[in-house]
Amino acid sequence: MGEVTVSLLAAEEGGGQSNFLVPNGTFFAVLLIFLITLGVIAKWVVPPVSKVLAAREAMLAKTAADNRKSAEQVAAAQADYDETMAGARSEASSIRDEARTAGRQIVDAKRSEAGDEVAET
């Protein structure tokens, strides 16, 4: 019980209760430091960061445009390649057909010569 009395007496000696809603000097000092810090950040930190972000967005837009342009070039090159390959395939097919026809004619001619030689003997 003696301890409770001592703590009550110590609380009463504090000189009354302070109202926490009424600001004191510490509040204004912290507010001033905060406003100074905010001003420093707004003046010297935000503009360079904004500049870098704008440059980065411009670079991304340029990269996207380059990607679209490259995709168009690849599509055009692929179409040209497909067209060239189709022409080469048809040319190779016609050359192959001509070679087969010429080969059959040669084989038929040799067979008839061989048949004539066999008939003569």
Smallest CA-to-CA distance from 2 within 16, 10, 13, 17 is with 10
Between CA 56 and CA 11 the distance in angstroms is 61
Domain ranges of the chain: 26-120
Q: What pLDDT tens digit does each residue of the chain (121 aa) get?
A: 556 555 544 555 555 577 878 888 899 999 999 999 999 999 999 999 999 999 999 999 999 999 999 999 999 999 999 999 999 999 999 999 999 999 999 999 999 999 888 888 7
Residues 6+ positions from 24 with CB-CB distance below 8 Å: 18
On whether the pTM is more than 0.75, the answer is: no
